[in-house]
Amino acid sequence: MRLWDEVAATVPCLLEYGDSPLAKTAQRFYEKLKKTDYLQTDCVSVCKAVEHFAKNLPTADQAMNMGKLAHLANRAKMGYFPTDLTHVERIKEAMIFPEEEVNLIDPCCGEGLALKAFANGANAITYGIELDEIRGEEAAKRLTRVGFGSYFHSRISLGAFQGLWLNPPYLSAPSENGNRRLEKAFLSDSMRLLQNGGVLVYIIPFYRATPDVCRVLCENFRDLRVHRFVGKEFERFSQIVFLGVKAERRKADRQAKKLAEYLLDPDRIISCLCRTTTIILIPRTTDWDFRTVICSSIYGIRISNIITIRS
């Protein structure tokens, strides 16, 4: 079992590194290993296959390839991959907004273009947070309220939002327990901002939908669906979008495992949003009688903003 998992875990790493042929090989190898009956099979041949596979893996002393360079360039701009606006429109077509006002938040809003387009025409108050000051200034022109600084140094009321737009940076960052992926960190933390029944839009490269991410999604959201982006956007950034409705947390080990396996092969993912299934956004609950605030600070030093959410 450990061996299968280790081989499956190389797939996202190879895709991020930019070696899709080897990632495909790893995936096929994983499928084979899964079906291997270790009690019946000659162990020597399995060991040889593993050895052969391991020899093909890139090592630190190899010259960098273009994929690696692109990854480093991404890091330099803090993972800024704004959502393509045509895709925002497609995602919006899968939603029905209520007539009543809703609170929408993008905890890493870039220039605010995606959230603005998503909320366009709806009765919505839009909240964003952005680490990059220049992008944050741009977002402030488009969204109702913007907090400048890191989302992770912000204080935001839990359960105050009916919609969460989340296209996080595709990066890892140092943390107390070693490096952590920001795709998962943003998801695990910011889903608590949604009220139960609130809607999540979560956009990541398909190879970042690792088993731990799938577990968070399956345990905390119902009516979960996933679509892949189309055309050039998918070719360049391999993005998929999850839509789900926030629910009470429950165990979902089997679903999470199945979802993670399904997502290893992007060809299986439905390639555009299906217009027949819609998610209905619920109106804001009216019994909020306290003032909810976002305090955003840069690196924990400067309190740059205090935002009051209308409740």
Ligand X SMILES: C[S@@+](CC[C@H](N)C(=O)[O-])C[C@H]1O[C@@H](n2cnc3c(N)ncnc32)[C@H](O)[C@@H]1O
Binding-site ranges for ligand X (CB under 6 A)? 78-83, 106, 108-110, 113-114, 129-132, 135, 150-152, 167, 169
Smallest gap from Cβ 78 to ligand X, in A, equals 4
Return the amino acid letter for 95: M
Task: Determine contact, residues 203/167, Cβ cutoff 8 Å.
Answer: yes
Q: In this structure, is the dihedral angle defined by the CA atoms of residues 226, 166, 168 and 65, taken in order, positive or negative? A: positive
Smallest gap from Cβ 20 to ligand X, in A, equals 21
Other CB atoms within a 10 A radius of the CB of residue 10 amount to 20
- Determine the 3-state secondary structure of 103 from DSSP: strand
- Determine the 3-state secondary structure of 269 from DSSP: coil
Smallest gap from Cβ 106 to ligand X, in A, equals 5
Smallest gap from Cβ 108 to ligand X, in A, equals 3
Nearer to ligand X among residue 167 and residue 292 (C-beta): 167
Query: Which residues on neighbouring strands pair with residue 150, listed in sequence order?
Result: 297
From the list 215, 201, 204, the residue with the least C-alpha distance to 261 is: 215
β-pair type (279-280, 239-246): unpaired
Task: Determine contact, residues 162/102, Cβ cutoff 8 Å.
Answer: yes
Nearer to ligand X among residue 12 and residue 128 (C-beta): 128
Nearer to ligand X among residue 250 and residue 302 (C-beta): 302
Nearer to ligand X among residue 82 and residue 98 (C-beta): 82
Nearer to ligand X among residue 30 and residue 92 (C-beta): 92
Nearer to ligand X among residue 142 and residue 218 (C-beta): 142
Nearer to ligand X among residue 110 and residue 163 (C-beta): 110
Calpha distance 240→257 (Å, rounded): 18
CA geometry: angle 154, 156, 157, nearest 5 deg: 160
Smallest gap from Cβ 111 to ligand X, in A, equals 7
Smallest gap from Cβ 110 to ligand X, in A, equals 3
Calpha distance 10→20 (Å, rounded): 11
- Quote the radius of gyration of the chain (alpha carbons, Å): 21
β-pair type (302-309, 292-298): antiparallel
From the list 135, 144, 156, the residue with the least C-alpha distance to 79 is: 135
Calpha distance 72→74 (Å, rounded): 5
Smallest gap from Cβ 229 to ligand X, in A, equals 12
Smallest gap from Cβ 76 to ligand X, in A, equals 11
Nearer to ligand X among residue 169 and residue 198 (C-beta): 169
Enter the tokens of residue 147: 């907090």
